[in-house]
A and B are shown apart, each in its own frame.
Chain A
């Protein structure tokens, strides 16, 4: 006797988005699927991609990161080359946190110069993150948009600043990461607001705000899942690839505290903490992961099989 398994189909499909690469580089395309992640059914033309963060400014690195990333402090271009080369990152997330008054206070022109340097150093796709200070970012995004001599993504546009970030991206042909604070309605509204500005939908990624394991990851998980289900059910404003930045995993005490001997090796703990956060995001439906520890590029890429 044969049994036909009921396989649910979805009417919608996630929009495919390409992160362009420089000459000689490989662009990253994600999205395009019409089914939930890690399942056999449906089409998954593009597997999730794992990238790495390239930090700037003053860094207080937890033990697990200090050993591997520490030597690159102050040289983002060298780190970019290492990430894209030996470490296998398919794209880079260049964080200009160094321009934050509390993160090094680098000037806006300096931040823009770093962008040019990194773009020259490697042809892999790049997402450029602002510093998080509203006033500085208002000057930083236009400067970055102008400085970036090949298309990048600007991260991130939120409700408050979306006109500025989208304007800067439109002016020079970049994409944007549309951010919402673990809020599906805001995620949708952001994409409607961007559409209202005439922003091309195939240059938008959703960042739903990623909480680290034990520090909000479950909220992120359910929001990603709902964004994905809504998108697959036909809500075009949510049928976009999702980006998860795993940096929050490194804020957990469990990932960084060396003084707790009974918790085991702090280096392994840190790496596993980020990895576990990333695996959960993949299971929820994330299309792009940004990690900080090089070893997790391989581990998460292996898990990101469809």
Chain B
């Protein structure tokens, strides 16, 4: 099916090389073989030749060598590979033709601009590197309907793409009144073969901005394929030459879209009707994303409002929080099923509702992305909390099907609607998860029957997610994640985050670490290979030791993940609670950051303890941890686990509440939680031991800690 097309490419390449030969001979006849050959205003000779080959071109005779090389690239058998190489040959030959034609500057009639000089390349290239120009569109051929082509180019301009135009479509667009020229980042090049000036522009971008030198062909092709996000819109019937040029574009990693029924090559050659579908397919194929600079909603939006509480009296409307059915869910889906920026609100919206209304609410966010994983759904979903709180006049509490959202009267008066809420989620998820999210759609419903129907599905999704979380154990995974965010103030501290031990700040679990790495591959969350298991009970792993040694700059040479007594993990300063041994009680106490009392059985309050624990040093017997680590099966594995805990503030016990009881029951000690003392029972070691003996706390029977 592709074969006739490949044959056309080979024929087209032959034609272009033939034309180049004729042009070269004519020029050589007129000016002599040693006459100089160069484009005006460039430091890169014939840029395509400069970038892809090591032939130096300064004279017409040198160009002959380029054509000799091009000829060797055109082989007779019609295969995909040969077609692509013929495409490369076409580009080389077209660059020769282009340079010859520029003997006296731009050979074309305005508005066609011919070769784009380096000065413009430098100016615009900055914005390509910067990302404010998100990509490049090349429009070639002759439009069947000039109005459609004009609408397409205007859409490119609106998005901010760099646009190159070659072929009859230049005149068509000019007649349609499309604004052309440098000011509009839209460059009409000339007749079809002048499309080479789009190619030599891209090649010069690689030479100027990609740090690529002369003749580094492979590096150049890789730069064009991965860094220059460009696609070609080929309008109208494709002849041999157009196909050969298209093959050259594909060789350089560009996606070619044709409005003709061409046989598709996924990711490379697509058949789409001219217009919106072609634009969308091109942008998707090249991963071009449009950034929303300011979220267009009627209320202020930013971290400054995160802490804002909306009191009952100021509330205009609320959802969930026990007052109505409500849930929120993030689901990943294949890209073709998610329509980016589609925000659907179904059911009554905020406007017109009386103050004090309560409505059911279902929020479903669907995301797609090449690097999106099901595991990241919960990471994104938890972000909903923060995003909603970012609004001035919107408050969010809890998560999943316990979610509770309030909207203030002031926000409703400003015209805030549920669609704006959707837009907040859309914009911020895109911004915060740029590397893993390509498309986001939000659907919000306030109709009871729809919410209830959706809730059933959401609960199934939560259950599935929880089941997955239970299978995520330290033993089951092969890599943990590091967090070195706190090294700015605790220079040698390295957090190792495993599925069963979250970061000591309580803010980063294993999935967050995993997502964090995907979002910022050079950032503080790096994968840590477990490597050989030295001691499964203490949590000693070769890979972890190696990572910690290197990243603590040799100050911590060994670190046991599940021990407080022997080479424990260091602490930065952000820990949610501190564990400290009470030798008299043969156990450990836990004290949380919120506990303001100064009296604990170890003689120090939280802040005093924190001062002696933090700073990235190992202090056997003392360790900062996240509260939820107490519930882990790996909690102090080396010292006997949860039964070691002899004391914790009442507040913390209440906070962990049912989960702590559940865990105690799981290890066959349902009474343990009540046996653990708090500040109302004992604040001295003696009183503590007395209490432990009285209630028969299991720590007393464990092997001695010291």
A residues adjacent to B (C-beta < 8 A): 142, 145-146, 163-164, 166-168, 170-172, 182-186, 189, 192-193, 196-200, 222, 226, 229-230, 233
- Residues of B contacting A229 with CB < 8 Å? 553
Return the chain A residue nearest B131 by Cβ. A163
- Residues of B contacting A193 with CB < 8 Å? 522
Flag B119-133 by CB within 8 Å of A: 1 or 0 each. 001110111111110
For the A-B complex with A167-B126, A185-B488, A229-B553 known, give 20 more contacts whose Cβ atoms are closer than 8 Å.
A146-B122, A163-B129, A164-B130, A167-B128, A167-B130, A170-B125, A170-B129, A170-B208, A170-B209, A170-B211, A184-B491, A185-B484, A185-B485, A189-B523, A196-B522, A197-B129, A197-B209, A198-B209, A198-B212, A200-B211
Contact A142 B123 (CB under 8 A): yes
The answer to whether A142 and B126 touch (CB under 8 A), given A182-B488, A196-B522, A200-B211, is yes
- Residues of A contacting B123 with CB < 8 Å? 142, 146, 171
Shortest CB-to-CB span from A209 to chain B, Å, is 11
Q: When chains A and B are docked, how far (Å) is the Cα of A280 from the Cα of B50?
A: 49
Q: When chains A and B are docked, how far (Å) is the Cα of A200 from the Cα of B212?
A: 10
- Residues of B contacting A182 with CB < 8 Å? 488
Contact B553 A198 (CB under 8 A): no
Contact A183 B488 (CB under 8 A): yes
The reply on B210 being an interface residue by CB < 8 A is yes
Shortest CB-to-CB span from A128 to chain B, Å, is 15
CB-defined A-B contacts under 8 Å, sample of 24: A146-B123, A164-B132, A166-B129, A167-B125, A167-B127, A170-B129, A170-B208, A170-B209, A170-B211, A171-B121, A171-B122, A171-B125, A171-B208, A184-B488, A184-B491, A185-B485, A185-B488, A185-B524, A186-B488, A189-B520, A197-B129, A198-B212, A226-B491, A233-B553
Q: When chains A and B are docked, how far (Å) is the Cα of A171 from the Cα of B123?
A: 7
B residues adjacent to A (C-beta < 8 A): 121-123, 125-132, 208-212, 484-485, 487-488, 491, 520, 522-524, 553
- Residues of B contacting A167 with CB < 8 Å? 125-130, 209
Q: When chains A and B are docked, how far (Å) is the Cα of A222 from the Cα of B212?
A: 37
Shortest CB-to-CB span from A253 to chain B, Å, is 26
- Residues of B contacting A183 with CB < 8 Å? 488
- Residues of A contacting B121 with CB < 8 Å? 171
Q: When chains A and B are docked, how far (Å) is the Cα of A123 from the Cα of B523?
A: 40
Return the chain B residue nearest A237 by Cβ. B522
- Residues of B contacting A168 with CB < 8 Å? 126
Residue of A164, A167, A182 contacting most chain B CB atoms (<10 Å): A167
Q: When chains A and B are docked, how far (Å) is the Cα of A197 from the Cα of B130?
A: 10
- Residues of A contacting B132 with CB < 8 Å? 164
- Residues of A contacting B125 with CB < 8 Å? 167, 170-171
Q: When chains A and B are docked, how far (Å) is the Cα of A185 from the Cα of B522?
A: 10
Which 4 residue pairs of A and B lie closest in terms of their CB atoms, listed nearest first?
A: A167-B129, A198-B211, A171-B122, A167-B126
- Residues of B contacting A189 with CB < 8 Å? 520, 522-523
Shortest CB-to-CB span from A216 to chain B, Å, is 13
Q: When chains A and B are docked, how far (Å) is the Cα of A193 from the Cα of B524?
A: 13
Q: When chains A and B are docked, how far (Å) is the Cα of A182 from the Cα of B488?
A: 7
Shortest CB-to-CB span from A252 to chain B, Å, is 22
Return the chain B residue nearest A200 by Cβ. B211
- Residues of A contacting B520 with CB < 8 Å? 189
A199 partner, pick from B126, B131, B211, B488, beta carbons under 8 A = B211
Return the chain B residue nearest A182 by Cβ. B488
Contact B209 A185 (CB under 8 A): no
Shortest CB-to-CB span from A224 to chain B, Å, is 12
The answer to whether A230 and B553 touch (CB under 8 A), given A171-B208, A199-B211, is yes
Q: When chains A and B are docked, how far (Å) is the Cα of A194 from the Cα of B66?
A: 35
Return the chain B residue nearest A173 by Cβ. B208
Q: When chains A and B are docked, how far (Å) is the Cα of A192 from the Cα of B211?
A: 15
Q: When chains A and B are docked, how far (Å) is the Cα of A186 from the Cα of B212?
A: 27
B126 partner, pick from A164, A184, A222, beta carbons under 8 A = A164
